[in-house]
Amino acid sequence: MTRKYFGTDGIRGEIGKSPMTPDFVLKLGWAAGKVLAAEGTPLVVIGKDTRISGYMLESALQAGLVAAGVNIRLLGPMPTPAVAYITTAFRASAGIVISASHNPYQDNGVKFFSGEGTKLCDKTELMIEEYLDRDIETVSSDKLGKVERVDDAGGRYIEFCKRSIPVDATFNGMKIVVDCANGATYHVSPHVFSELGAEVIEIATSPNGFNINENCGATSLDALKAKVIETKADVGVALDGDGDRLMMVDHIGDVINGDEVLAILTEHRLKEEGLKNDVVGTLMSNLGLEKSVNAMGLNFHRADVGDRHVMEQMRQSGGVLGGESSGHIIVRDRIATGDGTIAALQVLYAVFKSGKTLHELKQVMNKYPQTMINVRIKDKINLKENVSIQAAVKAAETAMGDTGRVLLRPSGTEPLIRVMVEAENEGDTQKHAQSIADVVEKVAS
């Protein structure tokens, strides 16, 4: 069945426009409550990021859930992975996060976690959508849900993060710049690093409801790079608005993206624990990551783009490390979802144990040059069955052999075909990407 409202990561949109309106979110709360209530007396925890619209959506969700007979624990501003953790800690039926992640403040969204702290399965989302097409029926007054606020949620999450690395770890003498994107991690993540001994320099930790992700965080690294160099810091850590993405900067200002983080963690786990599990990336993961993992004697799998697809592939392969270039890193034996703070701790622990700098550790992976060309189209194109396009792809792949790769994929949000080529030589990536894009453009015209 095709989902009407749920996307790859919950329901998201611009505030005031369907579906991000108070009346829809109220009904979403009721629909989710009805599905959960079928399993007994449900308890739901709700967290949010720092967007001004979070208060409005939180109130609407509360009303709908209470009308369905669901008890609620409000966490206030809290990172998405913290909500996943607290959902399991409270033995709740589900967790709900009000956030649009790395999007600007005008957007917001609602995403759900199961009682196990994982994203909801398709079946449950479809059941919620089925109730969204019904009229709201409020339970009797004696069965209405109750709402309580959890005052120590931040402290619980800080301790949980610290427990994700061994007790022998200390970051004494390490200077870290932490960029919280003026988002949900602003009051927790800096404390995690400082309580482990690091000297922490905070930036983008003053949210005002409107400045989330604005020229800061994991999607905008210039301020972090400048601060690392200015303060002569050892490491820069950038989180996104809801705290599930991580990007890093080394002491000379070079960016370490999600692929390089995954390569560093794979090498560290292999040396420390004899890692035998496969590693999971996505279709967009750099070819250099695949070759690095293979050189360590491990298999590398590519899932569809999206952390839920990465997680599903990890379950199938038994892997404990997976992630995306954009910084969604899943360390499955620490937490069952992407967590920027916990991923950063694993990297810093690798720095601590190895005695090497982050710049030295990232040399484990040779990042291949990449060229991406977006071709605008009027109508859908069947990329796999178009003879001209496939011939152009085959020619490029033959020319590059095992030193490069081609990826064609339609955009999920715009009428575009994305043509991506990676190769050892940057000139080859540009030449082959342009030749394929020319053919796609001709077919599309």
Assess contact for 310 and 280: CB atoms under 8 A.
yes
Strand, coil or helix: what is 193?
Answer: helix
**What span, in angstroms and rounded, lies between the C-alpha atoms of 159 and 232?**
28
Is position 101 annotated as part of the catalytic site? Answer: yes
Assess contact for 189 and 180: CB atoms under 8 A.
yes
Place of tokens 């009308």: 67
Question: Letter for the amino acid at 249?
Answer: V
Q: What is the DSSP letter of 221?
A: -
**What span, in angstroms and rounded, lies between the C-alpha atoms of 260 and 360?**
12
Instruction: Please give the domain boundaries of the chain with CATH numbers for all domains.
Output: 11-151 (3.40.120.10), 157-255 (3.40.120.10), 370-444 (3.30.310.50)
How are strands ordered across the β-sheet holding 279-282?
300-303, 279-282, 321-323, 329-331
Return the exposure string of 232-271: e unless at least 16 CB atoms fall within 10 Å of the residue's CB, then b. Answer: ebbbbbbbbbbbbbbbbbbbebeebbbbbbbbbbbbbbbe
Q: Which residues of the chain have pLDDT under 50?
A: none
Residue 219 C-alpha from the chain's centroid:
12
Tell me, what's the pLDDT at 413? Answer: 67
**What span, in angstroms and rounded, lies between the C-alpha atoms of 90 and 85?**
9
Out of 93, 101, 114, 325, the active site residue is: 101
Helix segments in 135-198, DSSP class H: 153-162, 189-195
Place of tokens 């398709």: 122
Assess contact for 323 and 329: CB atoms under 8 A.
yes
- 310 token code pair: 């990465």
**What span, in angstroms and rounded, lies between the C-alpha atoms of 334 and 336?**
7
Q: Where are the beta strands (DSSP E) in 318-402?
A: 321-323, 329-331, 370-376
Strand, coil or helix: what is 274?
Answer: coil
What would you report as the CA-atom Rg of the chain, rounded to the nearest whole angstrom?
22
Query: Minimal CA–CA distance to 389: which of 435, 428, 423, 429?
Result: 435
Strand pairing report for 246-249 and 255-256: antiparallel
Tell me, what's the pLDDT at 45? Answer: 98
Assess contact for 102 and 51: CB atoms under 8 A.
no
Query: Minimal CA–CA distance to 152: which of 123, 178, 187?
Result: 187
Query: Minimal CA–CA distance to 260: which of 344, 175, 173?
Result: 344
Question: Letter for the amino acid at 116?
Answer: E
pTM attached to this predicted model: 0.93
